[in-house]
A = this chain, B = another copy of it.
Amino acid sequence: MSSIKKINHVAVVVEDMDKALRFWRDTLGMNFKESIEIPSEASTVAFLPVGESDLELVKPTGQDSGIAKYLAKRGPGIHHLCLEVDDLMGIISRLKQAGIRLINEQPRIGQGGRQYAFVHPESTGGVLVELYQSD
Q: Which residues of B contact A27 (CB under 8 A)?
A: 94-95, 98, 100
With A6-B52, A10-B7 as contacts: A127 and B77 at CB distance below 8 Å: yes
Q: Which residues of B contact A7 (CB under 8 A)?
A: 7, 10, 50-51, 53, 55
Is the Cβ of B5 less than 8 Å from the Cβ of A51? yes
Cross-chain contact of A91 among B1, B29, B50 (Cβ < 8 A): B29
Give the copy number.
2
Q: How far is the CB of A45 from chain B (nearest CB, A)?
A: 15
Q: Which residues of B contact A4 (CB under 8 A)?
A: 28-31, 50
Is the Cβ of B50 less than 8 Å from the Cβ of A20? no
User: Which A78-121 residues have a C-beta within 8 angstroms of B?
Assistant: 78, 81, 83-84, 91, 94-95, 98, 100, 121
Interface size range of chain A in the complex: 35 or more
Q: How far is the CB of A27 from chain B (nearest CB, A)?
A: 5
- Judge whether A39 is part of the interface by a CB distance below 8 angstroms: no
User: Which A33-62 residues have a C-beta within 8 angstroms of B?
Assistant: 50-53, 55
Residue numbers of A with Cβ under 8 A of B are 1-7, 10, 12, 14-16, 19-20, 23-24, 27-31, 50-53, 55, 75-78, 81, 83-84, 91, 94-95, 98, 100, 121, 123-127, 129
